[in-house]
Structure 1
């Protein structure tokens, strides 16, 4: 196939492109606006004959129409995704996550193309820390931030286009990703790069918030499996049973850097900070036969630390600006 990957120069999207090139014979066209979170270097080393980068906006209907017409399938990763940024200025999240998804849906409807929509578990809100329940495909939506609300809106658009217009679409809601190429404004790479610089990590509140961490390589393999075998109209939840509190993640990272387990600072909590996310991935495992490979989070984090150590030139230019922004908010 020829797959159009929106946001394919960003963190999760670029890892998917690498996975597709390595594991299949499909060709890939990446559509990416190359905002601060997109980077040409994320696609470095991929064969030019199989991967093409188109710089542009998913809200550009003419460009999207042409690229969709030339493709067999669309995998839609492009999104504004940083919660803190959505609290400071929600407008780009509405434009990209909702309007951009609408533009793509209209193009795949017109040309009759297969569509997979990548979303987040944050659309479900949060769970209590002591609640044994997990998110399922039928959990009611209850988003907490402008980011998760905009992603919830885009999910509803996809389902409506499937039902109303027969668009051949599937959806996935994934837990928090970690791994190579993640922008250093995000939680894990920020802690890693601070530790590389000898700076104490910083935790929101008391660090008790729990996320269901998944290595981005496992996310990529799940999306590919859904694209190739998923039932049209279905939503699949992607997670690897990796529930850990932010405090536990920082303690593992401190251990990897030979630092004391309590060598971190607590900072002001983020407004509306969700307590806990947890994914029930039963349908993905039983119906599509998918299994995560990175089940040891300590080993996955060690691999991620090595990547950031080995690729300082990739993240160093943005470091000062990211830390200055956090300092302005007392974080």
Structure 2
């Protein structure tokens, strides 16, 4: 992955051109296509029938587990979209997660979302910010809450201010950590997949728990290089904390 900062439009005229061009009629009324765009968080239906189709997006935390999967999804499914990944590369971020993606489509900028000067350089010219960057291991917040306040609160505020200043659409991604756990084995949460099958043509790869679990375990056993360094670094940090 080539690390570089993409040259972005600086002038009001360039930014206005980008803003005026980002709304246009949807070329494909297929509900399955629309559904996939909604899934990616990139669609906003308007009263006039148009949809939001960005050409340049900024993805924070794009080297993390969920962020990297989103980046790969967009790169694969929307090759016309340019992606700038902004990641601090802490314990949760690994540039290998986005390795192999086209350097002409994906840029990696190593930096902090709290860095106002950096945001002022890279936010202009983007159509949307997709904000994944966060401290998410809430057990660590008990011993050291400061990084959580700085990244999750201050960092998000800095991004929101930059998005407002430069008229950039903002998608904030969250996790289930901020709500209570659901009851175990509660059948109210079971999914009726009939609509997914009918509208998106989806079908499960595994239809029984045993084969699905076996496939997951086999994948991790065959890709030790993907998780072993992160595991060793995490265990070393816990040892240093006396845990």
User: If the length of structure 2 is used for normalisation, what is the TM-score?
Assistant: 0.64
- The alignment partner of 1:29 has SS state of strand
The reply to whether residue 7 of structure 1 matches residue 99 of structure 2 is no
The reply to whether residue 308 of structure 1 matches residue 217 of structure 2 is no
Rounded to whole Å, the distance in 2 between the matches of 1:16 and 1:300 is 22
Shift in CA distance, 31/291, structure 1 to aligned 2, threshold 3 Å: farther
Shift in CA distance, 16/59, structure 1 to aligned 2, threshold 3 Å: same
- How far the C-alpha of 1:79 sits from its partner, in A, is 0.6
Rounded to whole Å, the distance in 1 between the matches of 2:201 and 2:138 is 29
Computing the radius of gyration over CA atoms, which structure comes out larger, 1 or 2?
2
- How far the C-alpha of 1:304 sits from its partner, in A, is 3.6
User: If the length of structure 1 is used for normalisation, what is the TM-score?
Assistant: 0.48
Shift in CA distance, 52/320, structure 1 to aligned 2, threshold 3 Å: closer
Q: CA offsets per residue over residues 291-320 of structure 1, 9 Å max, x none? A: 976574655544443442333223323433
Residues 294 and 300, structure 1, Cα contact 8 Å, conserved in 2: no
- How far the C-alpha of 1:130 sits from its partner, in A, is 7.0
Q: 5 Å matches for 1:113-124?
A: 113-124=168-179
Residues 57 and 129, structure 2, Cα contact 8 Å, conserved in 1: yes
The reply to whether residue 31 of structure 1 matches residue 31 of structure 2 is no
Unaligned runs of 5+ in 1: 135-240, 243-280
Residues 63 and 85, structure 2, Cα contact 8 Å, conserved in 1: yes
Shift in CA distance, 17/302, structure 1 to aligned 2, threshold 3 Å: farther
Map of 1:222 onto structure 2: none
- The alignment partner of 1:69 has SS state of coil
- The alignment partner of 1:38 has SS state of coil
Q: 5 Å matches for 1:258-297?
A: 296=206
Rounded to whole Å, the distance in 2 between the matches of 1:319 and 1:95 is 25
- How far the C-alpha of 1:325 sits from its partner, in A, is 5.3
Shift in CA distance, 306/99, structure 1 to aligned 2, threshold 3 Å: same
- How far the C-alpha of 1:329 sits from its partner, in A, is 8.8
- How far the C-alpha of 1:36 sits from its partner, in A, is 1.5
Shift in CA distance, 51/130, structure 1 to aligned 2, threshold 3 Å: closer
Q: CA offsets per residue over residues 225-266 of structure 1, 9 Å max, x none? A: xxxxxxxxxxxxxxxx58xxxxxxxxxxxxxxxxxxxxxxxx
- Match 2:231 to one of 302, 319, 322: 319
- How far the C-alpha of 1:330 sits from its partner, in A, is 9.7
- How far the C-alpha of 1:44 sits from its partner, in A, is 0.8
- The alignment partner of 1:36 has SS state of coil
Residues 64 and 107, structure 1, Cα contact 8 Å, conserved in 2: yes
Residues 3 and 27, structure 1, Cα contact 8 Å, conserved in 2: yes
Map of 1:164 onto structure 2: none
- How far the C-alpha of 1:94 sits from its partner, in A, is 1.1
Shift in CA distance, 121/319, structure 1 to aligned 2, threshold 3 Å: closer
Shift in CA distance, 109/291, structure 1 to aligned 2, threshold 3 Å: farther
Rounded to whole Å, the distance in 2 between the matches of 1:107 and 1:132 is 43
- The alignment partner of 1:95 has SS state of helix
Residues 56 and 128, structure 2, Cα contact 8 Å, conserved in 1: yes
Rounded to whole Å, the distance in 1 between the matches of 2:122 and 2:64 is 18
Rounded to whole Å, the distance in 1 between the matches of 2:220 and 2:163 is 37
Rounded to whole Å, the distance in 2 between the matches of 1:93 and 1:127 is 24
- Match 2:156 to one of 73, 84, 101: 101
